[in-house]
Amino acid sequence: MAPHWPSILRNLALWVAALLLALGVERALALPEICTQCPGSVQNLSKVALYCKQTSELMLHARCCLNQKGTILGLDLQNCSLKDPGPNFPQAHTAVIIDLQANPLKDDLANTFRGFTQLQTLVLPQDVTCPGGINAWNNITSYIDNQICQGQKNLCSSTGDPEMCPENGSCAPDGPGLLQCVCADGFHGYKCARQGSFSPLMFFGILGSTTLSISVLLWGTQRRKAKTS
């Protein structure tokens, strides 16, 4: 019986996938897990709630502030007993404002915020330093029960080292205090080695018509009278 298990599992997985897809189609605005992993909703007076109410297009759902496309712009996880932000945290990489105060967080958030390039306001417990350190932020304010990191800095321009990235690469911010090498303008592909795009239509058009005309010309002048052997 054992060899049949994988196929049964695969079938099951397919069913689950189909079910999820159906649900997804039904409710286009399914909330990301990060918004519901902590019970309750955003408190009325929190910074995230204030941010969300500034614009009428934004809506509060559970712990998140979403825009009409369902993108997370704000995330309020205060008082959630988190030791670390958890595996679903990268779902919130589009957030502009995040509140993590009143959590027993370990002080090692350097790589947690990789990819959080939009983040402008981060509220942390008082004993946790801002990710990336003092240089990564415009303004760091400490209060009695929390700490606010404000205004992410772009370190690419400040480092001033043009040789930071391989050929055709260029530096881009990758979250607070983090940098990455992406392809420079106009370059794409593996190792950013490719530039522009080949136009097959033009090439094969010219080649095809040239081949056709030369073939017809040569057949007419050369091979037409040839004996078929």
Which residues contact other proteins (rule: CB under 8 A)?
Answer: 114, 164-166, 169, 171, 174, 178-183, 189-198, 203-204, 207-208, 210-211, 214-219, 221-223, 225-227, 229
Q: Least distance to other proteins from the beta carbon of 229, Å?
A: 7
Tell me the DSSP string of 31-97. Answer: PPHHHHSSSS---TTSHHHHHHHHSTT-EEETTEEE-TT--EEEEE-TTS--SS--TTGGGGTT-SE
Strand partners, 179: 173
**Of 49 and 179, which has the nearer Cβ to other proteins?**
179
**Of 40 and 186, which has the nearer Cβ to other proteins?**
186
Contact 33, 61 (CB under 8 A): no
Relative to beta strand 169-173, strand 179-183 is: antiparallel
Integer CA distances (angstroms), 135 to 12, 124, 128, 171, in order: 50, 17, 16, 17
**Of 15 and 219, which has the nearer Cβ to other proteins?**
219
**Of 80 and 172, which has the nearer Cβ to other proteins?**
172
Q: Reduced to 3 DSSP states, what percent helix, strand and coil does the chain have, rounded to the nearest 5?
A: 35, 20, 45
Q: Least distance to other proteins from the beta carbon of 123, Å?
A: 26
**Of 22 and 218, which has the nearer Cβ to other proteins?**
218
Q: Least distance to other proteins from the beta carbon of 111, Å?
A: 10
Q: Least distance to other proteins from the beta carbon of 108, Å?
A: 17
Cα 146 to chain centroid distance, Å, stands at 28
Q: Least distance to other proteins from the beta carbon of 196, Å?
A: 6
